[in-house]
Amino acid sequence: MAEQQPLPWLFPYREDPQQTRLGQPILRPFVQVSLVNGDESTTMLDGLVDTGADAILASDLLADYLGVDLADHEGETQHAIGGRTHLARYKTISLRLHPHDGEIHEYREWQAQVGFIEDWHSYSFVLLGSVGFLDRFTVSASRFAQAVAVEERDAFDQRFGVPTA
């Protein structure tokens, strides 16, 4: 395994394949992740950082790819995405965060519940929400700087102190 670079890791915003909005390109806060189940792993995927989402959601295509048995799920929930409702079935697996230049052998790995959604694989395959991602790292996204910074999770408290109320 390559020597691990310490956090923070910076990720430049990436252009979205959607058409332009008002003539301007759509740039989004993506970071590179892969999913792991036992000896099986995906290649690197662009994961969308979404502070408004409560969970990590992914296409069930990836569960099939990894051999995750969704019939043996840990719970299921209906989510509304893009004006439609989708059933997410949750399983705990491992995730890896890779640096922005896509070094596949360099990563931070952790475990989290991922909600696998049936037939959902459009512009990306993974959405990184609060539980499982934003509780693992301190993540700062700046459209002004056009970058995402991922730091150790206690970086927020070190910078701002522990809120008391």
Partner 1 sequence: MEPIRTDFRGYEGQYVAIDARSGEIVIADKDPRIVLEKAKGRNHVVVRGRVPHADEPIYVGLG
Q: What is the CA radius of gyration of the chain?
A: 16
Q: What angle do CA 128, 130, 134 make, to 5 degrees?
A: 80
Report the nearest approach of partner 1 to the CB of residue 161 (Å).
28
65 part of the interface to partner 1, by CB under 8 A = yes
Cis peptide leading into residue 8 (ω within 30°):
yes
Q: How many residues does the chain have?
A: 165
Report the nearest approach of partner 1 to the CB of residue 46 (Å).
5
Report the nearest approach of partner 1 to the CB of residue 72 (Å).
22
Report the nearest approach of partner 1 to the CB of residue 163 (Å).
27
- Residue 74: DSSP 8-state: S
Q: Name which of residues 80 to 139 contact partner 1 (CB under 8 A).
A: 81-82, 100-105, 121-125, 127
Question: Measured between alpha carbons, how far is residue 122 from residues 49, 72, 119 in Å?
Answer: 16, 25, 9
**Distance (Å, rounded) from C-alpha 55 to C-alpha 53?**
6
- Residue 53: DSSP 8-state: -
78 part of the interface to partner 1, by CB under 8 A = no
By CB under 8 A, which span of 36-44, 72-80, 131-139, 156-164 interacts with partner 1? 36-44
**Distance (Å, rounded) from C-alpha 139 to C-alpha 124?**
20
37 part of the interface to partner 1, by CB under 8 A = no
Residue number with CB closer to partner 1 (20 or 158): 20
Residue number with CB closer to partner 1 (102 or 157): 102
Residues in touch with partner 1 (CB under 8 A): 10, 12-15, 17-19, 21, 25-27, 32, 42-46, 48, 50, 52-53, 61, 65, 81-82, 100-105, 121-125, 127, 145-147
